[in-house]
Structure 1
Amino acid sequence: MQTPHASLSPGPLAGLKVLELGQLIAGPFAAKTLADFGAEVVKIEPPDGGDPLRRWRLLKDGTSVWWQVQSRNKRSVALDLKDPEAQALVRELALEADVLIENFRPGALEGFGLAPEALAEANPRLIVLRVSGYGQTGPYRDKPGFGVVAEAMGGLRHLSGEPGRVPVRVGVSIGDTLAALHGVIGVLMALHEREKSGRGQIIDVALYEAVFNCMESLLPEYSAFGAVRGPAGSALPGIAPTNAYVCRDGQVLVAGNGDSIFRRLMKTIGREDLAADPELADNTGRVARVAELDAAIGAWTATRTVDEVLAALDAAAVPGGRIYTAADIAHDPHYAAREMLLPVTLDDGSTLTVPGIVPKLSRTPGGHRRNAPTLGQDTDEVLAPLRAKRKIEG
């Protein structure tokens, strides 16, 4: 187990008690975010195998390296929620908790005898975050829903990929992560309100709604104009020029869509004629001629390396960047300077680099206080006070 850094602050959420009943991505990501900033998170896992994420993707010594990110700073308690005794223990833990997080299908928590309304009756200050595919109400509430389905229903998948081809997915579980972040926002708002009312509340986050909430002008454009936005590859429809372009040894992204930025970009690529063209002075005119602009920029990048293109763009103060791989990230000096490449020491003494803490607070920053737990590592420690209390009362 990694020894916490001596100068690490307790974090702005120190003292906050969180009970996590979720698994895989959305619920646990929300709890991980709270834990990074000092919340005491107790994760309830089934004794038989634990959270399935422990075995997802690439494994090191039998455990996913993803686990070291998703469950850092948490404690693990192994309980079978189908067992009435385990349910009773969870109810006791909920009596002392500030927040309970779950991402089961609607009705599952109630089936375990852990209905939020009943928990709140016993602990009126309890805040319950419920993350599900379609939300706790509505005609789709009982349908199984994963993040990929939410990305499709939320409108994102239709926009992904090249025109006329089957849509592609974003390479990560973005629907789950967006829902988790919306859940964290809800928890923080509920905590703020509790300071005034003294009461908790239930937060209902649907995966598809979290995606839909990030879809910008998609719906109002359809409402006002009947326009159905479609896929556009690496471009951003209605904003120009901004796209990915091929270089001699790779690709770069170039965002020249500000009026003055556009003029600097055109001068950089040797197209002063386009820089001075009054039809291209604003975005409306540039969108009408986007194919011409993309061709001009592409012709310039095609004869240069990525480094040469980026050096010229930097000199002209034009936003641009390489398309990073994991290897690029791991060796990038800016990532390192911003402490986004966080080395942790695992139980076997090896070092693993994991993502750093986001966001960055100046006075009470978050931090890596504890490695991800082994299954049930903290069961005895967490449950001992409850069992002692029962023995006294008995």
Structure 2
Amino acid sequence: MIADTGLPLRPGALTGIVVLDLSRVLAGPYCGQILADFGATVIKVENPRDPDVTRGFPPYVRAGDQELSGYFAQYNRGKLTITLDLSTDDGRAALCDLAAKADILIENFRPGTMDKLGVGYETLAERNPRLVYTAISGYGQTGSRRRRPAFDSTAQAAGGLWSMNGDPAGPPVRVGTVLGDLAATLFAVTGTLLALRHAEGTGQGQLVDVAQVDSVIALTENAVVNYTVDGEVARHTGNRHPWVRPYELFPCKDGHVFFGAYTDKFWRLACELFGEAELAADPEIDTMRKRFDEAVYERRVRPVIARWLAGRTAAELEEMAGDVLPLTVVKTVKDVVEDPGTAERDMVVGVEHPGFGPVRMFGQPIKLSATPADVSVPAADLGQHTDVVLRALAGYDQDKIAGLRAAGAI
């Protein structure tokens, strides 16, 4: 932890922790963003001639002839930014000097890339034995597939998720968000904080190796044990759960709702609420185990629920049952953003960007009572803090910084 470097310190659970974020696009930058939200001094390191490609991703906030990527702004809020060209000797030397004072480094290059540049984990750990080096990749730092290129959809496909998603009558379908990236982000944050605690207690850093494919496999719920125990291969089941019933999408008068009253308690409450209390005691469907049987469910349970819901609007159903049963309107993103409940949880926040005004983006879902997140600091311009970081953290004077700039290293 560096407390007296001259770098700006932000309040939070991670105040004083210095993070070098060399990552690009989503999985790594989001990891850095979460750490920044909770007070870490996160320094985004970009190549001056090949910056993070998401600076050009839509949607765009425009002010005159200037534009700002809303995508980049969302995943890079709260960070300082510097430029370093790691293909140059001076750039690599500067990274080593920065890493010597940092607590954490995050990168998501293909395994072996940092080693080829001469700034891999082993090299940086020699300078700073307590460094936590978090490497996010498609297939991990070890194994025969480690050098394969990968994106989110690679992870969804290779991790089995596509095969479990989609209509039973159609082909496999990609999950409608970048779950391979997002899963890797969350496991990377967890692994980084675990390693940081160990480093703070022992002075020993370590390599945190997180693969997108591994992360997706860990999100497949019961699919692995279903296969290893019963030999059952998960299949795509549309909006239904493989075996929990009722737990699916149902049509109503003006749209759709999720209805998931599968436990005995919720089933009894549903029967009472919809005026058929006697069904809760019906010996064919009176227990959760009986209702899980697919044939019994299709013949006895599903028609009853369809009848309950068909004549009522989604709003009526949520008003009638939403506080009692797991019954939820299927909302669009517009509905979610404009939902008062979203605002109550600060899950859409306006971050003020100089010259552009507030950019509304998702907030921080982790709510800490004593050290809450600060999501108010905007994403910075490319290289905006290069000089101050190199002076404060690496100890460079202005002449040395000017020389690096003249040589194209920053």
TM-score (norm: length of structure 1): 0.93
Q: How many Å separate the matches in 2 of 1:286 and 1:37? A: 45
- Deviation of the 1:26 alpha carbon: 0.9
Match of 1:89 in 2: 94
Match of 1:5 in 2: none
- Deviation of the 1:391 alpha carbon: 5.6
User: Does the CA contact (< 8 Å) of 1:269 and 1:297 recur in 2?
Assistant: no
What are the superposed Cα offsets for residues 230-250 of structure 1, whole Å, 9 maximum, x if unpaired?
A: 111111121111111112221
Cα 1:179–1:387 change in 2 (3 A) is same
Pair 1:175 & 2:191 matched? no
Q: How many Å separate the matches in 1 of 2:50 and 2:118? A: 22
Match of 1:18 in 2: 19
Q: How many Å separate the matches in 2 of 1:371 and 1:219? A: 41
1:1-394 correspondence runs (5 A): 10-61=11-62, 62-288=67-293, 289-292=296-299, 293-314=301-322, 317-385=324-392, 386-388=395-397
Question: Mean alpha-carbon deviation: is it higher for 31-40 or for 265-274?
Answer: 265-274
Q: How many Å separate the matches in 1 of 2:18 and 2:376? A: 16
Q: How many Å separate the matches in 1 of 2:19 and 2:252? A: 49
Q: Aligned pair count?
A: 385
What are the superposed Cα offsets for residues 143-201 of structure 1, whole Å, 9 maximum, x if unpaired?
A: 11112111112121111111131122222111111111101111111111123321100
- Deviation of the 1:138 alpha carbon: 0.6
SS at match of 2:397: helix
SS at match of 1:35: helix
- Deviation of the 1:55 alpha carbon: 1.6
Q: How many Å separate the matches in 1 of 2:348 and 2:58? A: 20
SS at match of 2:136: strand
What are the superposed Cα offsets for residues 123-157 of structure 1, whole Å, 9 maximum, x if unpaired?
A: 00101001110001111011111121111121211
- Deviation of the 1:9 alpha carbon: 7.3
User: Does the CA contact (< 8 Å) of 1:9 and 1:365 recur in 2?
Assistant: no
Question: Mean alpha-carbon deviation: is it higher for 78-87 or for 89-98?
Answer: 78-87
Q: How many Å separate the matches in 1 of 2:164 and 2:271? A: 29
User: Does the CA contact (< 8 Å) of 1:9 and 1:366 recur in 2?
Assistant: no
Which amino acid is 2:202 matched to? S
Unmatched runs of 5 consecutive residues or more in structure 2? 1-8, 404-410
Question: Mean alpha-carbon deviation: is it higher for 48-57 or for 217-226?
Answer: 48-57
Match of 1:3 in 2: none
Q: How many Å separate the matches in 1 of 2:330 and 2:85? A: 44
TM-score (norm: length of structure 2): 0.89
SS at match of 1:311: helix
- Deviation of the 1:390 alpha carbon: 8.3
Unmatched runs of 5 consecutive residues or more in structure 1? 1-7
Q: How many Å separate the matches in 2 of 1:230 and 1:349? A: 47
* RMSD (Å) for aligned C-alpha atoms: 2.0
- Deviation of the 1:286 alpha carbon: 0.5
User: Does the CA contact (< 8 Å) of 2:25 and 2:52 recur in 1?
Assistant: yes
Percent sequence identity over aligned pairs: 37
